[in-house]
């Protein structure tokens, strides 16, 4: 603690980290992103020039007096962050104007890689019929969104020529245009976004948060579609070389906050923005763990959160499993941990297994609420 509340530097902002968000907290706990999770304790970290300069942990009952003691400009920022942290996330209107994404329960986004290296033949060609069958299987298994990508953005990947990316994904998106669930297009290229939206895609997923292609902000603004803004450090080819942060949670928070403002300035409605810390994109194991443990702080950005942990390398590192396809159990453990931080959308390879894990997780929550109601109904206060 280098500063007391009264002498915080000018321009101080705050990262507000709810400690131990839970579902069975007593009245007086504060809702996280509209609930059903809530938190009874908060760590407030004062940020100046991108660095943490002061911190304080407090029970929710002390938050009002903490705010009151802050100098007025800092207080206004802290209040705005605290409001965003607690506010419900309204449904996101999809492109096409007919459907929305609602967040009453965690949604499952199924990954459909239409890239040659993702299929077992390892060849150069992509079979649209095969990709389509995989999409139908994910829908039958309970996917809420299908994320179609034609450019591998894996660490170390080479960029794909745009024309080839478009040719890979368009037949698949066209065939899914009338599917029961919306399609998102995973691309960094404005022309690919346009073509995919024309072909029936309902939203954009951009691992560069609309920074890679200078036209992409304008395309998303013109099409009025939702967009996932993901944090990444560096280009895919070199991003795992030596990722370094002074404070990864603060820096990811500040980056996503800046991208939200850039999108708003470009005319993209705030209600269409979804944010993602980009697990594995220019991050060490330690960075990934800090981000997953600190995920709840990102709700103060005021947007629904999407997280992709499925089969990622940090799971291999923790569980000592080299083969991505054998990382299902670890992926489910990480996915449920993210749900316990209030994440609204999970991006996964294994839809059926994730849906089953979520059903058991939700069943336990429902049971808890019924037990509480039963006790309240059967007893009198004492
Ligand atoms: C190899 C390694 C292949 C990693 C593919 C990947 C995300 C994403 C990806 C994510 C959002 C994967 C990644 N990851 N988009 N695209 N969030 N929004 O595991 O975490 O699919 S590519």
Whether residue 237 is predicted with pLDDT greater than 90 in this model: the reply is no
For 47, phi then psi, to 5°, come to -115, 125
What average pLDDT does range 271-283 have in this prediction? 98
Q: Note the Cα 209 to chain centre separation in Å.
A: 12
Question: Nearest residue CA, atom 5 of ligand 1?
Answer: 154
How far from 236 is each of 212, 225, 233, 295, 299, CA to CA, in Å?
Answer: 11, 25, 9, 23, 26
Nearest to 283 by CA among 346, 234, 347, 229: 234
188 lines ligand 1 (CB under 6 A): no
312 lines ligand 1 (CB under 6 A): yes
- Nearest-angstrom CA–CA distance, 95 and 93: 7
* CA 313 to ligand 1 center in whole angstroms: 11
* CA 154 to ligand 1 center in whole angstroms: 6
Whether residue 297 is predicted with pLDDT greater than 70 in this model: the reply is yes
283 classed as catalytic: no
> CA triplet 355, 359, 363: central angle to 5 degrees?
170
pLDDT of residue 1: 46
**Averaged pLDDT score across all residues of the chain:** 93
292 lines ligand 1 (CB under 6 A): no
Determine how β-strand 38-39 pairs with β-strand 30-31.
antiparallel
Question: Nearest residue CA, atom 7 of ligand 1?
Answer: 308
Topology (CATH level 3) of domain 98-362: TIM Barrel (3.20.20)
Q: Which regions of the chain carry the CATH code 3.20.20.20?
A: 98-362
3-state class (DSSP) for residue 183: strand
Find where tokens 């690919």 sit: 192
Answer for the pair 321, 106: CB distance below 8 angstroms, yes or no: no
User: Which of 147, 154, 283 most suits a substitution to test ligand 1, by most atoms within 8 Å of the C-beta?
Assistant: 154
**Tokens encoding 118:** 């993702």
**Which of 31-40, 138-147, 234-243, 276-285 has the weakest average pLDDT?**
234-243
260 lines ligand 1 (CB under 6 A): no
**Tokens encoding 76:** 């206004």
pLDDT of residue 206: 98
- Nearest-angstrom CA–CA distance, 50 and 349: 35
- Nearest-angstrom CA–CA distance, 256 and 227: 13
3-state class (DSSP) for residue 100: strand
- Give residue 56's region: left, alpha or beta (phi > 0; psi -120 to 50): beta
* CA 230 to ligand 1 center in whole angstroms: 10
* Catalytically annotated residue among 233, 312, 327, 341: 312
* CA 256 to ligand 1 center in whole angstroms: 17
- Give residue 49's region: left, alpha or beta (phi > 0; psi -120 to 50): left
* Model confidence pLDDT, tens digit, residues 66-124: 999 999 999 999 999 999 999 999 999 999 999 999 999 999 999 999 987 544 444 45
347 classed as catalytic: yes
pLDDT-derived band at 43 (thresholds 50, 70, 90) equals very high
* Model confidence pLDDT, tens digit, residues 160-210: 788 899 999 999 999 999 999 999 999 999 999 999 999 999 999 999 999
* Model confidence pLDDT, tens digit, residues 357-379: 999 999 999 999 999 999 999 99
* CA 207 to ligand 1 center in whole angstroms: 8
Instruction: Compute the radius of gyration of the chain from its Cα atoms.
Output: 21
* Model confidence pLDDT, tens digit, residues 280-292: 999 999 999 999 9
327 lines ligand 1 (CB under 6 A): no
- Nearest-angstrom CA–CA distance, 260 and 255: 9
């Amino acid at each position: 603690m280098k500063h007391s509340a009264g002498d915080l530097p000018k321009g101080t902002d705050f990262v507000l980290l709810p400690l131990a968000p839970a579902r069975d907290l007593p009245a007086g706990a504060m809702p996280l992103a509209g609930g059903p999770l809530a938190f009874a304790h908060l760590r407030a970290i004062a940020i100046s020039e991108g660095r943490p300069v002061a911190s304080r942990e407090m029970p929710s009952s002390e938050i009002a007096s903490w705010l009151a003691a802050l100098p007025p400009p800092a207080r206004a920022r802290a209040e705005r962050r605290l409001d965003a942290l607690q506010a419900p996330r309204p449904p996101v209107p999809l492109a096409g104007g007919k459907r929305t994404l609602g967040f009453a329960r965690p949604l499952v986004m199924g990954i459909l890689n239409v890239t040659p290296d993702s299929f077992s033949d390892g060849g150069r060609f992509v079979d649209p019929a095969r990709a389509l069958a995989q999409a139908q299987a994910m829908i039958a298994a309970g996917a809420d969104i299908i994320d179609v990508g034609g450019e591998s953005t894996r660490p170390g990947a080479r960029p794909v020529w745009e024309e080839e990316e478009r040719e890979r994904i368009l037949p698949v998106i066209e065939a899914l245009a009338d599917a029961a669930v919306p399609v998102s297009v995973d691309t960094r290229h404005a022309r690919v976004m346009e073509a995919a939206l024309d072909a029936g895609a309902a939203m954009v997923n951009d691992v560069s948060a609309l920074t890679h292609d200078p036209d992409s902000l304008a395309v998303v603004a013109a099409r009025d579609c939702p967009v996932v803004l993901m944090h990444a450090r560096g280009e895919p080819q070199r991003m795992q070389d030596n990722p370094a942060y002074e404070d990864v949670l603060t820096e990811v928070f500040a980056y996503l906050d800046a991208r939200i403002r850039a999108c708003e300035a470009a005319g993209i409605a705030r209600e269409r923005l979804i944010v993602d810390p980009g697990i594995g994109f220019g991050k060490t194991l330690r960075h990934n763990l800090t981000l997953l443990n600190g995920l709840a702080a990102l709700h103060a950005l005021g947007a629904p959160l999407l997280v992709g942990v499925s089969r990622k390398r940090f799971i291999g590192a923790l569980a000592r499993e080299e083969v991505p396809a054998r990382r299902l159990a670890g992926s489910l453990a990480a996915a449920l941990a993210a749900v316990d931080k209030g994440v609204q959308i999970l991006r996964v390879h294994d839809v059926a297994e994730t849906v089953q894990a979520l059903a058991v997780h939700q069943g336990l929550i429902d049971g808890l609420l019924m037990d509480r109601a039963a006790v309240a109904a059967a007893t009198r206060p004492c």
